[in-house]
Amino acid sequence: MSARTLKLGAVLLGVGGPGQHNTWLSPEIPGNASVDVRWYIARARQAEAAKFDHVFIVDSQFITPDSPNHYLSRLEPLTLLSAIAVHTSHIGLVGTITTSYNEPFNVARRLASLDHISGGRAGWNVVTSGDAGTAGNYSRDEHYDYETRYGRAFEHVQVAQGLWDSYEADAFPRDKERGVFFDRSRQHALHHRSEYFSVVGPLNLERTPQGQPVIFQAGDSEEGRDLGASIADAIFTHAGTLEQARAFRSELRARAAARGRNPEHLLVVPGIFPIIADSDEEARAKEDAILGAKSFARALAELGRPFGWHDFSQYDLDAPFPEVGDVGARSFRTHAEKIKKLARERNLTLRQVVEHQLQEQRSPFVGSPRTVADEIERWFDGGGFDGINISVTVPSEFARFIDQVLPILRERGVVRSEYESTTLRGNLGLPVPENRYTAARRQPPAATACRHHRGRRHR
Amino acid sequence: MSARTLKLGAVLLGVGGPGQHNTWLSPEIPGNASVDVRWYIARARQAEAAKFDHVFIVDSQFITPDSPNHYLSRLEPLTLLSAIAVHTSHIGLVGTITTSYNEPFNVARRLASLDHISGGRAGWNVVTSGDAGTAGNYSRDEHYDYETRYGRAFEHVQVAQGLWDSYEADAFPRDKERGVFFDRSRQHALHHRSEYFSVVGPLNLERTPQGQPVIFQAGDSEEGRDLGASIADAIFTHAGTLEQARAFRSELRARAAARGRNPEHLLVVPGIFPIIADSDEEARAKEDAILGAKSFARALAELGRPFGWHDFSQYDLDAPFPEVGDVGARSFRTHAEKIKKLARERNLTLRQVVEHQLQEQRSPFVGSPRTVADEIERWFDGGGFDGINISVTVPSEFARFIDQVLPILRERGVVRSEYESTTLRGNLGLPVPENRYTAARRQPPAATACRHHRGRRHR
């Protein structure tokens, strides 16, 4: 086992960071980058040359005319990742798919296909769709409530993982001399039947190079943490302060351990937005310029998202933060609750809340290359994270991180210099799960039954 | 408008033709071809070098241990086609997706993504899932009945086409100087609400290079023909005799015309299995060898498929064809009815029916290159088809068709020598549909309303 090293992900064209809504103005970015497969392939190759573990594609299935620019029109993640797969060789490919509006059989099949196509580099960022409006695109009058979303997500992943075990590793001898294509004793139907799904199986796809694609999961709520601790290999989260990050990671690891899992196999990998310049002063000035370019009006509109895109422009800015009650209860609930709590505890006006949100977008990773490297190392050593997902939009900014920050971290042994494996699982240091039927044949029945039951319900 | 030319499709690793179950034994084919993206890319490039219009990927989502070899484990069509897209430049990419077990928003998005990634080469083979067992993989106790499947299919395609119009062509100025990314007056929510689906929209993807991906449809039943005549650009069917093919094509065209469509924009493209050798005698001997290699037992098992994988091995082979009543009524009904009718009319035993099915797999396109070219030309000129979908498994057999048959057809002007367009729609000679909202603004309201209603219900 090699020493613990920082995992590196690149969130391609992710928005949400400071100034991300304005990045399209950069002369380095084609205006239609979000639908330009060549742009994505070029960025993935840039990340691969720097030995990143994975690229990461975020997603949603609901837009309004006010959605962020690059969300108004963008490629579906797995269709995109498959194209990237055949123009790269080592970098992992993590795509966001919602469990709320997809069938587990289809999801399992597409991810397993990507894993075969990429030679073992597929990852799934499991989400439940925070935007309540998503329901309207899927023949539902109402978004699933929070509990249902997380209950479905847990069962959905379980079904997918079950389907990925449909064939044991030796199911296809394909022996042309003996004329034996297939060993039918190594094909297994799942016969899953539970609260949200019933899926007979088997999946029509053999065991993939990774055995099971890597599971990422995002979600800060109680339900989200429970889900992550139960089924995730890696957690995609936000980075607030080091103290918050450390507490979050400790708690996640404790929850995983409580489920009988090895906490080393649950990586916490927040999204970060480094702002790098030659000196700390220049970097801070750069951040100020980016934040300053963001209009108050846009921040006010974005405040609505966790409240189900509630329109806050209807209220008096200088009156106390409005009592909006239960609006958006089916959306990004934890985020909305945090904002309400903040306003209540500090007695803030609506304007003050918006200004606070703008400040919140300040990155903890701002400064000269050495300052940023120091800070990343401090968080990594301090138990704040196991890796980082860097938001990638402007290629030269990404190159600055690669060319100026990474060498410092490499020299210190924080980041490895070469790929250690051809699979994402291998590079992330995650074990390959054994096929459950192979395990059952190998193990005494009692131990098998126990293994089968573990984590059956996530609480 | 150029002269009518034969359209060429390559069905990659399609089974169903004579001897297809044994092709994996060929030393030319990797045993795991059905999960090997490089194999598919190589075949697509072979077809593209020969100026084929498209590659075609068939699909199903239900297997048993008795499924054909290459169906036991195969890549999901759109994930696969996206990988092929970025290693080809002109060839169309047609993938099979079932409307019975997918959400129209997801299907519209994935196909539009493929259309963007490929620069306008996406096609959708619309199917409704014939295998009744498919239901068990999608949390349903029973497969949808026939009427529901086709009703859903029609509405599903309508919704997808509506979503593809979410943005007009000029919705994204992306003018960096003026700072204008998006013209919100050119984004349109669909607000579809009907029998099977309600979808608000808009789709989060701009107008694709083809305006609308090309729609293929397969289905010989009354409902299938109605659906094809209503919504398809091209029909994927089986080739029996020239007379049957001519009758089928005439009827389809008449149905399309009755719906106010230009029948020239509905192409009939059956799957064919040419068997080519240096002489006619050798080709016939080759076919005999292929058919002879197929065991009676396998043919008996395959007979069950249209009857919902009914097990015919339980009956006396030399007794009259068994009365199986309604088994498989939710499966491939038309095919099952044909077999029952044949047995009844000719008083056949079960053994005779199986032997008849084996003979039915004889190809009308067997002989020397000239004989096969003559026959294809006769069918094309005789109104039997507008194009052919050639089953591609063994590369050298495909090369024989490309190198020996196509040159004859080119010389006669039946097949074109160069791509005429970079889009599938362009090469197939199909018009680019105008965005409905752009049209509405351009046309007087009365004409618009009329256009909007045409084909609203398919009967």
Q: What is the CA radius of gyration of chain A?
A: 23
Residue B281: other Cβ atoms inside 10 A? 11
Which pLDDT belongs to residue B384? 97
CB A231 within 8 A of CB A159: no
What's the CA gap between B339 and B333, in Å, rounded?
10
pLDDT interval class at B16 (50, 70, 90)? low
* B181 touches A at CB < 8 Å: yes
- Of B130, B192, B115, nearest to B160 by C-alpha is B192
Q: Which residues contact residue A73 at a Cβ distance below 8 angstroms, ignoring those fewer than 6 apart?
A: A32, A34, A35, B167, B172, B204, B205, B206
Q: Does A97 touch chain B (CB under 8 A)?
A: no
Nearest to B376 by CA among B264, B291, B281, B275: B275
Residue A391 marked ligand-binding: no
Q: What angle do CA B358, B360, B366 make, to 5 degrees?
A: 105
Of the candidates B74, B139, B141, the beta carbon closest to that of A205 is on B74
Q: What is the mean pLDDT of residues A377-398?
A: 96
Is A129 a known ligand-binding residue?
A: no
pLDDT of B352 over the 70 cut: yes
B432 and chain A in contact, CB less than 8 A: no
Cβ-defined contact of B204 to A35 (cutoff 8 Å): no
Q: What span, in angstroms and rounded, lies between the C-alpha atoms of A143 and A146?
A: 9
User: Which tokens hold the place of B334?
Assistant: 């038309």
Cβ B444 vs Cβ B248: under 8 Å? no
Residues 35-54 of B with CB under 8 A from A: 35, 37, 41
Strand partners, B216: B125, B234
Residue B71 contacts A where some CB pair is shorter than 8 Å:
yes
Compute the nearest-CA separation of A367 from chain B (Å): 28
Least confident of A158-172, A316-330, B55-69: A316-330
DSSP single-letter state for residue B95: E
Element counts in chain A: helices (H) and strands (E): 17, 13
Q: Are B116 and B445 within 8 A, CB to CB? A: no
Inter-chain contact A199–B136, Cβ cutoff 8 Å?
Answer: yes
CB neighbour list of residue A254: distance below 8 Å, 6 or more residues apart: A263
User: Whole-angstrom Cα distance, residue A277 to residue B397?
Assistant: 61
> Among A85-94, A447-456, B222-231, where is mean pLDDT lowest?
A447-456
Q: How far apart are CA B74 and CA B69, in angstroms?
A: 10
Sign of the torsion angle spanned by Cα atoms B266, B270, B271, B276: negative
pLDDT tens for A47-89 read 999 999 999 999 999 999 988 888 999 999 999 999 999 999 9
The reply to whether residue B137 touches residue A24, judged by beta carbons under 8 angstroms, is no
Q: Are residues A283 and A276 in contact, defined by beta-carbon separation less than 8 angstroms? A: yes
ipTM of the modeled complex: 0.91
Report, as an integer, the average pLDDT of A253-269: 97
CB contact under 8 A, B182 and A72: yes
Q: Do B74 and A136 touch (CB under 8 A)?
A: no
Single out the residue of A60, A131, A93 nearest to residue B205, CA to CA.
A60
State how far residue B340 is from chain A, nearest Cα, in angstroms: 30
pLDDT at A301 over 60: yes
* Pick from A87, A9, A82, A8: nearest CA to A41: A87
Q: Quote the pLDDT of residue B444.
A: 66
DSSP label of A274:
-
Chain A residues lying within 8 Å of B205, measured CB to CB: 35, 73-76
Q: A80 and chain B: CB distance < 8 Å anywhere?
A: yes
Domains recognised in chain B with CATH numbers: 7-278+364-439 (3.20.20.30), 295-360 (no CATH)
Question: Which stretches does DSSP call E strand in A190-341?
Answer: 192-193, 198-199, 214-217, 234-235, 267-268, 271-272, 275-276
Give contacts of A209 with chain B, Cβ < 8 Å: none
The model's confidence at residue A292, banded by pLDDT at 50, 70 and 90, is confident
Using CB atoms and an 8 Å cut-off, which of residues 280-299 of chain B contact chain A? none
- pLDDT of B455 higher than 80: no
Of A82, A103, A187, the CB nearest to B65: A187
Q: B82 vs A80: CB contact, 8 Å cut-off?
A: yes
The 3-state DSSP class for residue A10 equals: strand
Check whether A310 has a pLDDT greater than 70. Answer: yes
Phi, psi of A122 (to 5 degrees): -85, 140
Assess whether pLDDT exceeds 80 at residue B145: yes
Q: Which of B62, B106, B182 sits opposite A102 (nearest CB)?
A: B106
Euclidean distance between CA atoms A294 and A362, whole angstroms: 12
- Which helix H or strand E contains B79, and what residues bound it? helix B77-85
Note whether A71 and A15 are within 8 A (CB).
yes
Which residues from chain A sit within 8 angstroms of residue B187, using beta carbons?
A: 65, 72
Cβ atoms of A204 and B73 within 8 Å: the answer is: yes
- When pLDDT is cut at 50, 70 and 90, the band that residue B19 belongs to is low
Find the range with the poorest average confidence among A91-95, A110-114, A373-377, B131-135.
Answer: B131-135
Cα–Cα dist B417/B414, whole Å? 10
A276, pLDDT greater than 80: yes
Which candidate, A7, A101, A82, places its Cα nearest to that of A47? A7
pLDDT over 60 (residue B450):
no
Instruction: Answer whether A31 sits within 8 Å of B174, measured CB to CB.
Output: yes
Tell me whether A244 touches chain B (CB under 8 Å): no
Label residues B168-185 b or e (16+ Cβ within 10 Å = b).
Answer: beebbebeeeeeebbeee
* Chain A contact set for B61 (CB, 8 A): 105-106, 109, 204
Overall residue count recorded for chain A in this entry: 459
Least Cα separation, residue B308 to chain A (angstroms): 16
